Amino acid sequence: MLSFLLLHADLTYYLILGIGMVLSLIASARVKSTFAKYSEVPSRSGYTGSQVAHAILQAHGIHDVTVEPVPGALTDHYDPTSKTLRLSEPVFHSNSVAALGVAAHEVGHAIQHATNYGALRFRSAWVPVAGIGSSLGIWLVVIGIAMAAGGGSLWLAYGGVLLFAATTVFTLVTLPVEFDASRRALATLQDSRVLDVDELDGARSVLNAAAWTYVAAAAASVMQLLYWVMQLLAVQSRRED
Protein backbone atom coordinates (compact mmCIF):
# COMPACT_ATOMS: atom_id res chain seq x y z
CA MET A 1 0.00 0.00 0.00
CA LEU A 2 2.82 2.38 0.91
CA SER A 3 4.63 1.68 -2.38
CA PHE A 4 1.41 2.42 -4.30
CA LEU A 5 1.00 5.74 -2.49
CA LEU A 6 4.61 6.69 -3.22
CA LEU A 7 4.22 5.74 -6.88
CA HIS A 8 0.97 7.69 -7.07
CA ALA A 9 2.68 10.70 -5.49
CA ASP A 10 5.54 10.49 -7.97
CA LEU A 11 3.14 10.33 -10.91
CA THR A 12 1.24 13.32 -9.55
CA TYR A 13 4.47 15.29 -9.19
CA TYR A 14 5.60 14.35 -12.69
CA LEU A 15 2.20 15.45 -13.98
CA ILE A 16 2.60 18.82 -12.27
CA LEU A 17 6.11 19.18 -13.71
CA GLY A 18 4.76 18.25 -17.13
CA ILE A 19 1.98 20.83 -16.95
CA GLY A 20 4.47 23.48 -15.88
CA MET A 21 6.80 22.56 -18.73
CA VAL A 22 3.99 22.68 -21.29
CA LEU A 23 2.84 26.09 -20.05
CA SER A 24 6.42 27.37 -20.21
CA LEU A 25 6.95 26.03 -23.73
CA ILE A 26 3.68 27.51 -24.98
CA ALA A 27 4.47 30.90 -23.44
CA SER A 28 8.03 30.85 -24.81
CA ALA A 29 6.86 29.90 -28.30
CA ARG A 30 4.23 32.63 -28.21
CA VAL A 31 6.65 35.39 -27.22
CA LYS A 32 9.20 34.28 -29.83
CA SER A 33 6.65 34.15 -32.65
CA THR A 34 5.06 37.48 -31.65
CA PHE A 35 8.44 39.19 -31.36
CA ALA A 36 9.50 37.77 -34.73
CA LYS A 37 6.28 38.99 -36.34
CA TYR A 38 6.58 42.60 -35.15
CA SER A 39 10.34 42.65 -35.66
CA GLU A 40 9.48 42.75 -39.35
CA VAL A 41 7.36 45.89 -38.88
CA PRO A 42 9.51 49.07 -38.91
CA SER A 43 8.23 51.98 -36.84
CA ARG A 44 7.27 55.12 -38.72
CA SER A 45 9.36 57.24 -36.37
CA GLY A 46 12.51 55.40 -37.39
CA TYR A 47 13.96 55.46 -33.86
CA THR A 48 16.03 52.49 -32.72
CA GLY A 49 15.58 50.70 -29.41
CA SER A 50 18.64 52.38 -27.92
CA GLN A 51 17.50 55.85 -29.04
CA VAL A 52 14.06 55.34 -27.53
CA ALA A 53 15.59 54.07 -24.29
CA HIS A 54 17.83 57.15 -24.00
CA ALA A 55 14.95 59.49 -24.85
CA ILE A 56 12.59 58.02 -22.25
CA LEU A 57 15.28 58.06 -19.57
CA GLN A 58 16.02 61.72 -20.30
CA ALA A 59 12.32 62.59 -20.32
CA HIS A 60 11.99 61.14 -16.81
CA GLY A 61 15.06 62.93 -15.52
CA ILE A 62 17.10 59.75 -15.18
CA HIS A 63 20.71 60.52 -16.11
CA ASP A 64 22.67 57.83 -14.26
CA VAL A 65 21.52 54.74 -16.18
CA THR A 66 23.81 53.27 -18.85
CA VAL A 67 22.28 51.73 -21.97
CA GLU A 68 24.37 49.06 -23.65
CA PRO A 69 23.91 46.15 -26.09
CA VAL A 70 24.09 42.55 -24.90
CA PRO A 71 24.51 39.45 -27.11
CA GLY A 72 21.63 37.08 -27.78
CA ALA A 73 17.94 37.36 -28.49
CA LEU A 74 15.33 38.33 -25.87
CA THR A 75 18.14 38.80 -23.33
CA ASP A 76 16.98 42.33 -22.50
CA HIS A 77 17.03 43.29 -18.84
CA TYR A 78 17.63 46.11 -16.38
CA ASP A 79 20.29 45.61 -13.70
CA PRO A 80 19.41 47.78 -10.68
CA THR A 81 22.70 47.02 -8.91
CA SER A 82 24.78 48.73 -11.61
CA LYS A 83 21.99 50.88 -13.06
CA THR A 84 22.59 49.37 -16.48
CA LEU A 85 19.94 48.84 -19.14
CA ARG A 86 21.03 45.97 -21.37
CA LEU A 87 19.23 45.58 -24.67
CA SER A 88 19.71 42.55 -26.89
CA GLU A 89 21.36 43.41 -30.20
CA PRO A 90 18.13 42.84 -32.21
CA VAL A 91 16.47 45.47 -29.97
CA PHE A 92 19.38 47.88 -29.48
CA HIS A 93 19.96 48.49 -33.19
CA SER A 94 16.46 47.89 -34.58
CA ASN A 95 13.70 50.41 -35.32
CA SER A 96 10.95 47.77 -35.36
CA VAL A 97 7.73 48.03 -33.40
CA ALA A 98 8.80 44.99 -31.36
CA ALA A 99 12.18 46.53 -30.51
CA LEU A 100 10.68 49.81 -29.34
CA GLY A 101 8.14 48.00 -27.17
CA VAL A 102 10.81 45.87 -25.49
CA ALA A 103 13.18 48.82 -25.02
CA ALA A 104 10.44 50.91 -23.42
CA HIS A 105 9.50 48.00 -21.15
CA GLU A 106 13.05 47.70 -19.83
CA VAL A 107 13.17 51.46 -19.29
CA GLY A 108 9.99 50.95 -17.29
CA HIS A 109 12.06 48.93 -14.81
CA ALA A 110 14.62 51.74 -14.62
CA ILE A 111 11.79 54.18 -13.86
CA GLN A 112 10.48 51.80 -11.18
CA HIS A 113 13.94 51.78 -9.62
CA ALA A 114 14.27 55.57 -9.77
CA THR A 115 10.84 56.06 -8.18
CA ASN A 116 11.45 53.42 -5.50
CA TYR A 117 8.58 51.23 -6.72
CA GLY A 118 7.65 48.95 -3.83
CA ALA A 119 7.22 45.66 -5.68
CA LEU A 120 10.57 46.03 -7.45
CA ARG A 121 12.29 46.93 -4.18
CA PHE A 122 10.82 43.85 -2.52
CA ARG A 123 11.75 41.57 -5.42
CA SER A 124 15.35 42.80 -5.44
CA ALA A 125 15.67 42.26 -1.70
CA TRP A 126 14.06 38.81 -2.01
CA VAL A 127 16.50 37.49 -4.65
CA PRO A 128 18.97 35.89 -2.16
CA VAL A 129 16.13 34.21 -0.24
CA ALA A 130 14.54 32.90 -3.45
CA GLY A 131 17.93 31.60 -4.59
CA ILE A 132 18.34 29.54 -1.42
CA GLY A 133 14.77 28.30 -1.71
CA SER A 134 15.17 27.15 -5.30
CA SER A 135 18.41 25.28 -4.60
CA LEU A 136 17.61 23.71 -1.21
CA GLY A 137 13.84 23.82 -0.72
CA ILE A 138 12.76 20.66 -2.56
CA TRP A 139 15.71 18.64 -1.25
CA LEU A 140 14.86 19.49 2.34
CA VAL A 141 11.19 18.66 1.75
CA VAL A 142 11.96 15.26 0.21
CA ILE A 143 14.51 14.32 2.88
CA GLY A 144 12.25 15.64 5.64
CA ILE A 145 9.21 13.69 4.43
CA ALA A 146 11.30 10.51 4.11
CA MET A 147 12.59 10.96 7.65
CA ALA A 148 9.08 11.70 8.95
CA ALA A 149 7.70 8.58 7.25
CA GLY A 150 10.29 6.59 9.21
CA GLY A 151 9.25 8.15 12.48
CA GLY A 152 11.49 11.21 12.46
CA SER A 153 10.62 14.85 13.02
CA LEU A 154 8.64 16.89 10.51
CA TRP A 155 10.58 20.08 11.16
CA LEU A 156 13.03 19.56 8.30
CA ALA A 157 10.13 19.08 5.87
CA TYR A 158 8.40 22.18 7.17
CA GLY A 159 11.60 24.16 6.69
CA GLY A 160 11.91 22.88 3.13
CA VAL A 161 8.35 23.90 2.32
CA LEU A 162 8.98 27.38 3.70
CA LEU A 163 12.14 27.73 1.61
CA PHE A 164 10.36 26.57 -1.52
CA ALA A 165 7.53 28.99 -0.72
CA ALA A 166 10.14 31.78 -0.85
CA THR A 167 10.73 30.90 -4.51
CA THR A 168 6.99 30.94 -5.18
CA VAL A 169 6.69 34.36 -3.55
CA PHE A 170 9.41 35.61 -5.89
CA THR A 171 7.55 34.40 -9.00
CA LEU A 172 4.32 35.97 -7.75
CA VAL A 173 5.80 39.38 -6.90
CA THR A 174 7.45 39.37 -10.34
CA LEU A 175 4.00 39.63 -11.94
CA PRO A 176 3.08 43.16 -10.76
CA VAL A 177 6.65 44.30 -11.49
CA GLU A 178 6.46 43.14 -15.10
CA PHE A 179 2.88 44.25 -15.72
CA ASP A 180 3.62 47.69 -14.31
CA ALA A 181 6.73 48.05 -16.50
CA SER A 182 4.67 47.20 -19.58
CA ARG A 183 1.97 49.68 -18.55
CA ARG A 184 4.56 52.41 -18.17
CA ALA A 185 6.14 51.48 -21.51
CA LEU A 186 2.91 51.66 -23.49
CA ALA A 187 1.86 54.92 -21.83
CA THR A 188 5.24 56.50 -22.57
CA LEU A 189 5.27 55.35 -26.19
CA GLN A 190 1.77 56.74 -26.66
CA ASP A 191 2.34 60.06 -24.89
CA SER A 192 5.62 60.71 -26.70
CA ARG A 193 4.06 59.65 -30.02
CA VAL A 194 7.05 57.49 -30.79
CA LEU A 195 4.54 54.92 -32.01
CA ASP A 196 1.23 55.58 -33.73
CA VAL A 197 -1.97 54.06 -32.38
CA ASP A 198 -1.90 51.07 -34.73
CA GLU A 199 1.78 50.48 -33.96
CA LEU A 200 1.01 50.50 -30.25
CA ASP A 201 -1.19 47.45 -30.79
CA GLY A 202 1.84 45.57 -32.08
CA ALA A 203 4.01 46.63 -29.13
CA ARG A 204 1.21 45.66 -26.76
CA SER A 205 0.99 42.21 -28.34
CA VAL A 206 4.73 41.66 -27.83
CA LEU A 207 4.62 42.76 -24.19
CA ASN A 208 1.49 40.73 -23.43
CA ALA A 209 3.12 37.63 -24.91
CA ALA A 210 6.21 38.22 -22.78
CA ALA A 211 4.05 38.61 -19.67
CA TRP A 212 2.65 35.11 -20.12
CA THR A 213 6.12 33.63 -19.55
CA TYR A 214 6.03 35.06 -16.02
CA VAL A 215 2.46 33.87 -15.49
CA ALA A 216 3.48 30.36 -16.55
CA ALA A 217 6.45 30.36 -14.16
CA ALA A 218 4.27 31.54 -11.27
CA ALA A 219 1.58 28.95 -12.00
CA ALA A 220 4.14 26.13 -12.12
CA SER A 221 5.71 27.23 -8.83
CA VAL A 222 2.34 27.49 -7.08
CA MET A 223 1.33 23.99 -8.26
CA GLN A 224 4.58 22.49 -6.97
CA LEU A 225 4.25 24.26 -3.64
CA LEU A 226 0.68 23.00 -3.19
CA TYR A 227 1.80 19.48 -4.04
CA TRP A 228 4.51 19.46 -1.35
CA VAL A 229 2.19 21.01 1.21
CA MET A 230 -0.37 18.26 0.55
CA GLN A 231 2.33 15.58 0.81
CA LEU A 232 3.49 17.02 4.12
CA LEU A 233 -0.04 17.17 5.49
CA ALA A 234 -0.66 13.58 4.36
CA VAL A 235 2.42 12.35 6.23
CA GLN A 236 1.38 14.31 9.31
CA SER A 237 -2.14 12.85 9.14
CA ARG A 238 -0.81 9.28 8.90
CA ARG A 239 1.44 9.88 11.91
CA GLU A 240 -1.53 11.10 13.94
CA ASP A 241 -3.72 8.08 13.08
Per-residue pLDDT of the chain (241 residues; tens, 9 = 90+): 344 344 445 678 888 889 989 999 999 999 999 999 999 999 999 999 999 999 999 999 999 999 999 999 889 999 999 999 999 999 999 999 999 999 999 999 999 999 999 999 999 999 999 999 888 888 888 888 778 777 777 888 889 899 999 999 999 999 999 999 999 999 999 998 999 999 999 999 999 999 999 999 999 999 999 988 888 888 777 776 6
Phi and psi torsions of 138, nearest 5°? -65, -40
The rounded distance, in Å, linking the Cα atoms of 177 and 180 is 5
Annotation says 106 is catalytic: yes
Out of 68, 89, 106, 240, the active site residue is: 106
- pLDDT, residue 2, reads 40
pLDDT at residue 101 in the model: 95
CA-nearest of 34, 84, 91, 47 to 211 is 34
pTM score: 0.88
**What is the reported pLDDT for 155?**
87
- From CA 206, how far away is CA 20, in angstroms rounded? 22
66, 73, 65: which is closest to 94 by C-alpha?
73
Q: Residue 78 carries which DSSP code?
A: E
- Residue 7: what pLDDT? 45
Identify each DSSP E strand in 61-177 by its residue range: 66-70, 77-79, 84-88
